[in-house]
Amino acid sequence: MGKHLLEVKNLKKTYPLRGTSNKLFAPKEHMIAVNDMSFYIEEGEIYGLVGESGCGKSTTGRAIVGLNKMDSGEILYNGKDLCKLSDREFRPLRKDLQMVFQDTLSALNPRGRIGDILEETLIIHGMGDAAKRRETVLEILQKVGLSEEHYFRYPHELSGGQVQRLGIAGALIIQPKLIVCDEPVSALDVSIQAQILNMLMDLQKELRISLLFISHDIGVVRYISDRVGVMYLGSMMEEAGTEELFENPLHPYTKALFAAAPDPYIQRREVAALNGEQPVRTEKFAGCAFCTRCPYATEKCRQEEPKLRDVKSGHKVACHLAE
């Protein structure tokens, strides 16, 4: 086992709910977006985080790069707790922790040329003179499959796949140690998805960086990840090495994700259909996060929240009935 580059411990995040009661002075309720999340990422590893929309994946990823402040818990980067740092103390670490957004185009200056946008990052971090910055930008554009002519283009002149390549270039240009990829291929055609994923994997191996790959597509996660964590309603349901998880899923939610996946390479298993939609998880919510939709839920599941525990080496599950 390698060195832990990043370790998340007991992370929790809530958001206030408004308009949930007709009473004028009703007590304020909070929605639990992330609840007691714990996992780690090793140096040079691709860790996949998968789950339905609204399960807290992006909130967790944004917390790692300092875009979300959490209520409690720890995010340890090389032993330093990021949650306890002020914005000023966090700023030097931004060079090591970068993010690729799902909607990269909205994160770019529409009036700036691509070369200027990428060079601005280098200027902020004080990296190189004008000639060196231009050379660095042209080099990173080539690495992500763009050409020198894109240096002078505007973001709106690029296709969807090219925009995502630009987002990856913007994250790589300052040589980070960890990149959080938040649904980077979900809006792309399948053929373009494969190109972007292959490029990411090649760059990850070449540059020896770590990736937190966030997606709702379990087939994409299987393709790119070394280990996978399955999230539901803010909690980690199951975690294992990629092949172990896909060969031997233990949690009913993981099995339901496999049953719903259109990927022909994912082994189908008999699983009862899920009923209803994801509930809003408030502080009043009791029991297992999945108990309202689980076809196997017992009274214990509705009263006592299961802890994420080892059922075999490297395979964890949060389910009372896993065995």
- Whether 91 and 237 map to the same domain: the answer is yes
- Whether 263 and 199 map to the same domain: the answer is yes
Domain boundary among 273, 299, 315: 273
Q: Is residue 88 part of a domain?
A: yes
pLDDT for res 271: 60
Per residue in 45-58, pLDDT tens?
999 999 988 899 99
Query: DSSP string covering 106-158, please?
Result: GGS-TTS-HHHHHHHHHHHTT-S-HHHHHHHHHHHHHHTT--GGGGGS-GGGS
Instruction: Give burial (CB, 10 Å; 0-12/13-18/19+) of 213.
Output: buried
- Whether 66 and 146 map to the same domain: the answer is no
Q: Is residue 283 part of a domain?
A: no
pLDDT for res 276: 72
Whole domain around residue 240: which residue ranges? 4-21+28-96+176-273
Q: What gap in Å lies between CA 80 and CA 86, rounded to an integer?
A: 13
Please give the radius of gyration of the chain, using alpha carbons only, rounded to the nearest integer. Answer: 21
Bridge partners, residue 11, by sequence: 37
Q: Is residue 292 part of a domain?
A: no
* Core vs surface per residue 249-258: b (16+ CB within 10 A) or e: bbbbbbbbbb
Q: Is residue 322 part of a domain?
A: no
CATH code of the domain containing 37: 3.40.50.300
Domain boundary among 256, 273, 290: 273
- Whether 162 and 14 map to the same domain: the answer is no
pLDDT for res 23: 63
Please give the sequence-ordered ranges of beta strands (E in DSSP) within the chain, or none if there are none.
Answer: 4-17, 29-42, 46-50, 72-77, 80-81, 97-100, 178-182, 210-215, 227-232, 235-241, 309-312, 315-317
Residue carrying the six token digits 């690495």: 143
3 state SS of 80: strand
Residues of the chain with pLDDT under 50: 1
Q: Is residue 222 part of a domain?
A: yes
Residue 113 phi/psi, 5-degree rounding, is -75, 155
pLDDT for res 162: 93
Per residue in 149-199, pLDDT tens?
999 999 999 998 999 999 999 999 999 999 999 999 887 888 899 999 999
Count of other CB atoms within 10 angstroms of residue 229: 26
pLDDT for res 113: 94
Q: What gap in Å lies between CA 6 and CA 42, rounded to an integer?
A: 7
pTM, entire model: 0.91
Q: Is residue 293 part of a domain?
A: no
pLDDT for res 27: 66
- Whether 186 and 81 map to the same domain: the answer is yes
Residue 74 in tokens: 């720890």
Domain boundary among 143, 175, 207: 175
Number of domains in the chain: 2
Count of other CB atoms within 10 angstroms of residue 283: 10
Q: Which of 72, 9, 10, 69 is nearest to 41 (CA)?
A: 9
Residue type, 64: I
Q: Is residue 237 part of a domain?
A: yes
Q: Is residue 294 part of a domain?
A: no
